[in-house]
Amino acid sequence: MNLSMFKDLKALSGSPYCCICYALEGPDGTLLIDSGDGSIYFGFQPTVTILTHNHCDHTQGVEKKWKNVFIHKHDFEKTNFSYIPDKVTELPFDKLKWGNWELEIIHSPGHTKGSICLYDRNRKVLFSGDTLFNNGKSRTDLGGCDDLLSCSLNKIKKLEIEHLFPGHNY
C-alpha cells in the first residue's frame, strides 16, 4: 500500500481489530472512508463519511457530532457483527467528486449485502473495504455469501487497478 504518491490521501488505523480508514482531502474538507472501531483519534471532523459496510470494525468510530454519514441501503439490516450508527443515512449518490478524486460507488455484495468499493478511474485507485484484500482474497464467514462475493470479485477484475487500498492488511 503506497500512499506517498497521493498528497491528498491519508491512511489511519487503530487497534489490531480496527479497519484501515482513509481520509481524502479536498477544498470542501475531508471525506472519510470508514470510521474504524472507535480506537482511532482522528483530530478532525469529516465533512462526509462513507462506510464500506456495516461491520462494527468499520462503523463504531462514527462520532455523534459527525454529519453526512452514509452506508449502502442494503446494510441497514442488523446482524451479529453489524453496528449501524444512529445518524447514518442511505448513500444518496453513485458518483462523487471530492477535490482531485472522482469516486464511483460500486455495490459489491458478498462480504455483506451492502458492501461497496469506491473507485477512481483516472487514478486507477480502488478503496475495497472488505470486498478484496491485498492477498487477493476476501471473506464471507461473518454472514456473507460466497456466490454474491464471486460475482462482485468478477466485476472488480474488469477494473483497471494500480493502487488497492483495502479495509485490512491481510
DSSP for the chain, written as a single string: ---TT-TTEEEE--STTSPPEEEEEETTEEEEE--TTS----SS--SEEE-SS-BHHHHTT--TT---EEE-GGG-S--TTB---TT-EE---SEEEETTEEEEEEE-TTSSTT-EEEEETTTTEEEEETTS-TTS----TTT--HHHHHHHHHHHHTS--SEEEESS--
Residue 51 inside a domain? The answer is yes
Residue 100 inside a domain? The answer is yes
Strands 29-33 and 48-50: parallel
Residue 105 inside a domain? The answer is yes
Note the pLDDT tens digit of each residue in 108-141: 999 999 999 999 999 999 999 999 999 888 998 8
Q: What is residue 111's predicted lDDT score, i.e. its pLDDT?
A: 96
User: Look-up: residue for cell 493502487?
Assistant: 163
Q: Is the pLDDT of residue 2 over 80?
A: no
Q: What is residue 1's predicted lDDT score, i.e. its pLDDT?
A: 64
CATH number of domain containing 48: 3.60.15.10
Please give the Cα distance from 121 to 31 (Å, whole number): 18
Are the C-beta atoms of 138 and 101 separated by less than 8 Å?
Answer: no
Residue 27 inside a domain? The answer is yes
pLDDT > 90: what percent of the chain? 87
Radius of gyration of the chain (CA): 14
Residue 85 inside a domain? The answer is yes
pLDDT > 70: what percent of the chain? 99
Average pLDDT, stretch 163-169? 95
- How many domains does the chain contain in total? 1
Cell numbers that stand for 157 in this block: 477484475
